């Protein structure tokens, strides 16, 4: 199994924006992102914390992205 770099929420949001996602709203610490084709996801932004493996996997499923596609944009 390959290792995946630890990501903070701002880094993840920046990579998703490069893939065409836009922040449509923010409620508390949760940033809601949506792609023009309808795919959407939520990224919690907590200062100083990294995104866990399970949450990152869920974001990739929500966005219908592969790990390789995300790594290209980091």
Structural domain boundaries, residue 64: 9-73
Query: Which CATH number do you get for residue 65?
Result: 3.30.920.30
CA dist 15 and 28 (Å) reads 21
DSSP 38: S
Q: Confirm if 34 and 40 have CB atoms less than 8 A apart.
A: yes
Residue 5, pLDDT score:
76
Q: Confirm if 57 and 63 have CB atoms less than 8 A apart.
A: no
Q: How many domains does the chain have?
A: 1
In a domain? residue 59: yes
Residue 20, pLDDT score:
95
Residue 4, pLDDT score:
73
In a domain? residue 44: yes
CA dist 40 and 6 (Å) reads 22
In a domain? residue 41: yes
pLDDT tens for the chain, 74 residues long, are 457 778 999 999 999 999 999 999 999 999 999 999 999 999 999 998 999 989 999 999 999 999 999 999 88
CA dist 47 and 29 (Å) reads 10
């Amino acid at each position: 199994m390959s290792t995946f770099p630890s990501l903070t929420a701002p880094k993840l949001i920046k990579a998703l924006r490069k893939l065409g996602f836009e922040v449509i709203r923010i409620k508390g610490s949760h940033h809601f992102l949506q792609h023009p084709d309808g795919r959407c996801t939520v990224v919690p932004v907590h200062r100083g914390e990294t995104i866990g493996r399970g949450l990152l996997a869920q974001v990739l499923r929500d966005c219908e992205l592969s790990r390789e596609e995300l790594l290209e944009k980091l």
